[in-house]
Amino acid sequence: MATSTTISYTANLLKYMALDQKGNAMAEYIWIDSTGGTRSKSKTLTKVPESGIFKPEDLPEWNFDGSSTGQAPGDNSDVYLRPVAVFPDPFRGAPNILVITECWDPDGTPNKYNYRHECARLMEAHKEHKPWFGLEQEYTLLDMLDKPYGWPVGGFPGPQGPYYCGVGAGKVYCRDIVEAHYKACLFAGVKISGTNAEVMPAQWEFQVGPCEGIELGDHLWLARFLLHRIAEEFGAKISFHPKPIPGDWNGAGLHSNFSSEEMRKPGGMKYIEAAIKKLEGRHKEHIAVYGEDNTMRLTGRHETGSIDAFTYGVANRGCSIRIPRECGHKGYGYFEDRRPASNADPYQVTGIMMETIYGSVET
Ligand code: ADP
Ligand code: MN
Ligand code: MN
Ligand code: MN
Ligand code: MN
C-alpha cells in the first residue's frame, strides 16, 4: 500500500535507530495548531533522570514560530511550549519521549488555540465528582489523491452493510495502520480501550478511556498524533472530517461517554437525568464547540440526531444523548453524548461538559 520509496526509507532507517545516543534523550514536543492538526519538533535532552522517567516539570519550556502555523502574527511570532504530559516514544524507543505541550503567548496568556488551559481549570474545580470520560474517535483513511483508501477510481464501493466490524479483503482497508496504531498507543501508555472498523469503508474507530479529568484530552491528542505519524509511514492520510463523503455514507463522530462518581453508583440515574436536563438547556453552546461542519453530519439520518433538536433516550442511536441499555436497566452507569464531530477538540468537549453540569469557574 505504501510506495516503494517509503518502504525502502523505513527499512534503511533501522540501522540508524540502533545507534548509541551517548546518554542523550530525544524529546518530541507536540502541540495543536490553529486548524486542529498536530505539529511537533525534536529537542535533545542531555541528561536522563536516574529513574529513566521524565516528568513535565523537569522539561524545559521551548518555543516555535507561530506565524508559520497560523497561531501568531509575523511581527510577534514567538509562541511558547509548556510541557504538560510525557509518554514513552514508540518510534524511537527508550529513553526517548513524546511530550504534549500547551501553547502560551509572550504576554503570559494562553494562546488562542490553547483549549487545554481552561479545560484543566474546570477539571480541577470539579474534581470531587471524579469525572470519567471515554471518547470514541472515528476517522477516515485517505490515499494521496484524497480518495478513501481502497475505493475505486471514479466510482463508489457497494452500499454500506458489509464493512462495519468487517473481516476480509474488499470489506476493510488499512488494517495494518490500525494495528500499528493500537500497539503504539499501548506502548506509549495511552488508555486506548479498543478499535473497530466502521460503517463506511476505509472508516475506523478507536476509543480512549475511561480517563479521569484532563487526562482524557491529553491521551486522545497523543493518540491522534500517533495515528497521523504512523499513517505517514504507510503513505496514507488521516481525515477527521465529520462528513468526508456526502450522500448515503456515514459521517464520523467523537461520541463522548461521561460519568461522575455519583452516576456510577446504584441510584445514579437521578444524577444522569439531572445532567441531561442541564445539557438540554445549553444545546446551542455545546454544538458551537462540537466541531466544524457538524451540520453536514447531524442530519437525523445515519445514526445521528438532528443538529437543531436536543433529544435523549435509552439505547436510541438517533438521539443527541443515549443512555446505554445496560445502564437504563441497572439504574446507574454513564451516558453517551453523540453530538461531537470527529474533528472536535476533546479539551473543549470535556471542558464544556463540566461547565454545563457543574458550573463555570471564576477567572
Ligand atoms: P458504543 O457502544 O457507543 O460504540 P464503545 O464501546 O465504542 O461504545 O465506547 C464506549 C466508551 O465509553 C469507551 O471508551 C469506554 O471506556 C467508555 N466508558 C465505559 N464506561 C464508562 C463510564 N462509566 N464513564 C465514562 N466512560 C465510560
Ligand atoms: Mn529556524
Ligand atoms: Mn463505538
Ligand atoms: Mn462508531
Ligand atoms: Mn458510540
pLDDT, tens digit, 9 for 90 and up, residues 93-111: 999 999 999 999 999 999 9
Max intra-chain CA distance, the chain: 60
Q: How many domains does the chain have?
A: 2
DSSP string of 297-359, one letter each residue: T-BS-SS--BTT---EEET-TTSSEEE-HHHHHHT-S-EEE---BTTS-HHHHHHHHHHHHH-
Residue 268 scores a pLDDT above 50:
yes
b/e code 21-51 from CB counts within 10 Å (16+ = b): eeeebbbbbbbbbeebebbbeeeebeebeee
Distance 8 CA to ligand 3 centre (A): 36
C-alpha cell at 119: 479545560
Mean pLDDT to the nearest integer, 37-55? 96
Single out the residue in 46, 80, 113 at which a domain terminates: 113
Residues 351 and 209 in one domain: yes
Q: How far is the CA of 65 from the centre of ligand 2 (A)?
A: 8
Answer yes or no: are the C-beta atoms of 269 and 332 closer than 8 Å: yes
Do 63 and 168 reside in the same domain of the chain? Answer: no
What pLDDT shows up at residue 224?
98
Cis peptide before 210 (omega within 30 of 0): yes
> Does ligand 1 have an atom closer than 6 angstroms to the CB of 260?
no
pLDDT tens for 336-350 read: 999 999 999 999 999
Q: How large is the angle between the packed helices 116-125 and 215-234, nearest 10 degrees?
A: 150
Torsion of CA 209, 211, 217, 222, to 10 degrees: -60
Write the burial class of residue 284 (CB in 10 Å: 0-12 exposed, 13-18 middle, 19+ buried). Answer: exposed
Counting residues of the chain whose pLDDT is more than 70, the rounded percentage is 98
How high is the pLDDT of residue 258?
98
**pLDDT for res 75:** 84
Query: Which residues, chain by chain, have CB under 5 Å from ion ligand 4?
Result: 205
**What is the residue range of 78's domain?**
23-113
Mean of all residue pLDDT scores within the chain: 95
> Is residue 6 pLDDT above 50, yes or no?
no
Do residues 292 and 251 both lie within one domain? yes
Distance CA 28, CA 41 (A): 6
Residue 15 counted as domain residue: no
Q: Which three three-digit cell numbers place residue 182? A: 493500537
Evaluate whether 24 touches 30 at the Cβ level (below 8 Å): no
User: Which set of grid coordinates corresponds to residue 349?
Assistant: 468537549
Q: What's the rounded mean pLDDT across residues 123-144?
A: 98
Q: How confident is the model at residue 167, as a pLDDT?
A: 97
Determine contact, residues 106/338, Cβ cutoff 8 Å: no
Same domain, 201 and 175: yes
pLDDT higher at 74 or 202: 202
Cα-to-centroid distance, 70 and ligand 1 (Å): 35
Residue 324, domain member (yes or no)? yes
Does 203 share its domain with 314? yes
**pLDDT at 3 (0 to 100):** 46
Q: Are residues 96 and 184 in the same domain?
A: no
Q: Are residues 245 and 323 in the same domain?
A: yes
Q: Confirm or reject: Cβ of 213 under 6 Å from ligand 1.
A: no
Binned at pLDDT 50, 70 and 90, residue 8 comes out as: low
Residue 120 lies in a domain: no
Q: Tell me whether residue 17 is in a domain.
A: no
- Residue 2: pLDDT band (50, 70, 90) is very low
DSSP H or E stretch at residue 34: none
**65 and 141 assigned to the same domain:** no
Give pTM, 2 decimals.
Answer: 0.96
How far, in Å, CA of 227 to CA of 37, rounded? 12
